[in-house]
Structures are given as structure tokens and as C-alpha cells.
Amino acid sequence: MQAIRDATHRLDHVLFAGATHPHAGKLAEHLLRAMPWPAGGRVFYSDNGSTAVEVALKMAFQFWCHRNESHRTLFVGFENGYHGDTFGAMSVGRDPVFFGRFEPLLFRTLRVHLSTEALDVVLTRHRGDVAAVVLEPLVQGAGGMQMHSPDELRAIFEVTRKHRVLFVADEVMTGFGRTGSLWAFNQAGIVPNLVCLAKGITGGVLPLAATLVSPDVVGAFDTPDRSRTFFHGHSFTANPIACAAAVANWELLRSGRWQADVARIERFWESSVRPLDALPGVKDIRIRGLIAAIELDIPGGYLAAIGAALRRECLDRGVLLRPLGNVLYALPPLCTSDESLAVIADAMSHAVRSCRM
Ligand SMILES: Cc1ncc(COP(=O)(O)O)c(C=O)c1O
């Protein structure tokens, strides 16, 4: 809050085209230093997770254009994937419940089961036509907090290397420590070509997003030829106040004991939420880092009416949660006290006991 107050006195906004400011520069330095790339990466700012993904998709395609492979117009997403609500993000996510209505307007993508075999088959069949594979590493959030292991993630990544396509890590939900490592992809020891960040970047206080670009992709754009520019921008790209909040948030995160806090919260979920597994009607419990999800054995997925009932039960106990249909989950911030965690877990437990069939 202090950083925001200070920033408002210095520079409230400037169009981030032909101009820059110290907060944007500093934040980019911080973020790039935390990527597994050699020097030469870049940061492209935008306002929200969806636009961070749009930027990644456009940039991936233009990268191939610069390499004289403009026929690479296909993107691959995964079942249960969610990447936002703009058209590119909808096309890659392609969730039938969220976006089925817009199907006639979406561009062609390939949606595969999250397995190395399925990805290998699709990339073989469409050899030379795919620009990038887009995945939420370790946790597919809006798709129901579905989790895969670091080994599975590494294997998926290896398939993208084998087929020479770009790998976009959508860390909009998982980034900034939420899964136990700074970036979820760290746990698999992989090196994505593009990384999308939002949500946690400002500690959830102001809208800001970033698409981080590895040096190999940057290289294709690094030319004095203006026609090869990546033309994309928004009115509030890299807003100085939001960037100041993000720098302060980063410095707080890095100077603090975030790893201890994630471990504390994960341990708490293991002791309070995991035992609910034994209840009849509970299909699965998924815990990773700050995330605890309870899937109830009730049909209907995201549209299941039980979602509203679970939400009401939690609200009655003073806890505002937003179930994904039959999946009740919590993802509290790092600073959540043990007392608050206990209140949340109690509300979740009560809601599950009273709503399950
Ligand atoms: C993984 C992922 N990508 C992208 C988005 C879209 O972000 P935004 O809602 O900021 O547009 C979300 C939002 O929930 C998300 O979870």
C-alpha cells in the first residue's frame, strides 16, 4: 500500500509505447532473473491473465512467421485447460461449458487429453503445423483444480522438444509460490519458451500481467526491420502504479519466508482437509502448496447445482469461497494465519458434510 501511495505521487500513468519508467524496468529485471534462461529474455506487459495468454499466442505465431514457417497456425491445449475469456484464450481452452456457445467464432486448435501419448500422436499427425503447446503447469485451475505430477509435466515438455514446438507455461494461477515453488514449472526442471503471469504479480491488489519471453524467441524479433515488430499494446500496459505494487510485492515475497508459509499451509490442509477423503460422497482430495480441493462424487461438473449450496454453507460460517461446481477449493494468500486457516477448513468440512449425497 505504501508503494502504491508513493507511486501515485510520482507518475500515475504513461502510455507504454516509446516511453518507459523505473517500476516497469525493475519488475522486468526481477522477473527475468527468476527465469531459467540465459540473459536476453524480455517481458511484455498487459493487464490480465487472458491478455498475457493472447500475447503469448500472437508472439508464438509471429516467431514462426519470422522463421519462414507461417503455416504453423495451430495451437495445442489440454482437456480441463483454462486460459481466459478472450478469443485466443477461449480457442486454446475450448471448455465446452464455458465456451461451447462461441464455438462458431473460435479459431482452430487441438485439444488433447493430458498425456504424453495423446500429445505425441497429435504432434506427429500435425507435424510442422503447430506453433505452440499451452499448459497450466501442475494444476489446471478453473477446470476443477486437476493436478498432474512434476514427472508428467516434464514428460509433456519433452514431447514438445521432440517435435520442435514452443511450450507456453500459463502460470497465471500457479505463479508466485502457490504450488510450493516460485513457478510450478520449476518442480519439473523444465525451460518453457514463454511464461504467462498475472493474479499474484501485484499480490492480487491491482490489475497487471506479463508475458515472459525466452531469449530464443526474442532473437526472432531482434532486428531493425520495423515490419517485424510485435505490434500489441493496451491503454494501461505496464501502468506505473500497478508495476510499483508488483515490485513491492516481489520484494516482500523474496525477502520473506514464503516457502515456510507454503509448507505451513500445505501441512495444515493435509491434516484438516485430507481426512475428509474418508467421507462417503467425497470422490477425491487434491492438495498442492496453498491449494486444497475437495471433489464431490456428484454429476454435473461445473454446472452442478451443489456449487451454490456449498458456497452458501461456507458463507454462513463467514467464509467466501467459490466452488467450481462439485469441486470445493480454497487457495488462501501466503499471509493467512493459522486461525483463519482453521475457520476456512471448518467451513469446508461443514459444507461437504451437509451437502454431499
Ligand atoms: C490459468 C489461467 N490462465 C488465464 C486466466 C485468465 O486470467 P484473467 O481472469 O486475469 O483474464 C486464468 C483466470 O482464472 C487462469 O486461471
Calculate how far, in angstroms, residue 69's C-alpha sits from the geometric centre of ligand 1. 29
Domain end call among 255, 273, 292: 255
DSSP state of 108: P
Task: Tell me how far apart the alpha carbons of residues 165 and 120 are, in angstroms, rounded to a whole number.
Answer: 12
Domain end call among 255, 279, 306: 255
Calculate how far, in angstroms, residue 89's C-alpha sits from the geometric centre of ligand 1. 9
Do 233 and 86 sit in the same domain of this protein?
Answer: yes
- Does the beta carbon of 78 sit less than 6 angstroms from any atom of ligand 1? no
Question: Hey, which of 172, 183, 234, 327 would you mutate to test ligand 1's pocket, going by the most ligand atoms within 8 Å of its Cβ?
Answer: 172
Task: Check: CB of residue 268 under 8 Å from CB of residue 158.
Answer: no
- Does the beta carbon of 168 sit less than 6 angstroms from any atom of ligand 1? no
Do 325 and 305 sit in the same domain of this protein?
Answer: yes
Do 193 and 206 sit in the same domain of this protein?
Answer: yes
CATH code for position 83: 3.40.640.10
Do 181 and 276 sit in the same domain of this protein?
Answer: no
Calculate how far, in angstroms, residue 198's C-alpha sits from the geometric centre of ligand 1. 8
- Does the beta carbon of 178 sit less than 6 angstroms from any atom of ligand 1? no
Query: pTM score, two decimals?
Result: 0.97
**Average pLDDT of each block of 10 consecutive residues along the chain (357 residues)?**
96 94 98 98 98 98 97 98 98 95 97 98 98 98 98 98 98 98 98 98 96 97 91 96 98 92 98 96 97 95 92 97 97 97 98 85
Q: Which atom of ligand 1 is nearest to the CA of 86?
A: 11
- Does the beta carbon of 56 sit less than 6 angstroms from any atom of ligand 1? no
Do 239 and 284 sit in the same domain of this protein?
Answer: no
**Cell 452442478, located at residue:** 304
Do 263 and 244 sit in the same domain of this protein?
Answer: no
Calculate how far, in angstroms, residue 285's C-alpha sits from the geometric centre of ligand 1. 23
Do 292 and 344 sit in the same domain of this protein?
Answer: yes
Domain end call among 255, 290, 314: 255
Q: Which atom of ligand 1 is nearest to the CA of 199?
A: 10
Question: Hey, which of 55, 78, 80, 82 would you mutate to test ligand 1's pocket, going by the most ligand atoms within 8 Å of its Cβ?
Answer: 82
Do 278 and 204 sit in the same domain of this protein?
Answer: no
Three-state DSSP string of 137-162: CCEECCCCCEECCHHHHHHHHHHHHH
Q: Which residues have C-beta within 8 Å of that of residue 352, sequence separation ≥ 6?
A: 276, 279, 281, 282, 294, 296, 310, 328
- Does the beta carbon of 48 sit less than 6 angstroms from any atom of ligand 1? yes
Calculate how far, in angstroms, residue 256's C-alpha sits from the geometric centre of ligand 1. 26
Q: Which atom of ligand 1 is nearest to the CA of 209?
A: 10
pLDDT of residue 187: 98
Q: Residue 272 sits in which domain range? A: 258-355
Give the chain's length.
357
| C-alpha closest to that of 216 among 239, 191, 240 | 191
Do 182 and 306 sit in the same domain of this protein?
Answer: no
| C-alpha closest to that of 330 among 186, 340, 282, 339 | 340
CATH code for position 318: 3.90.1150.10
Do 151 and 13 sit in the same domain of this protein?
Answer: yes
Q: Which atom of ligand 1 is nearest to the CA of 174?
A: 1
Do 107 and 165 sit in the same domain of this protein?
Answer: yes
Strands 166-170 and 194-197: parallel
Do 97 and 166 sit in the same domain of this protein?
Answer: yes
The structural domain count of the chain equals: 2
- Does the beta carbon of 175 sit less than 6 angstroms from any atom of ligand 1? no
pLDDT of residue 245: 98
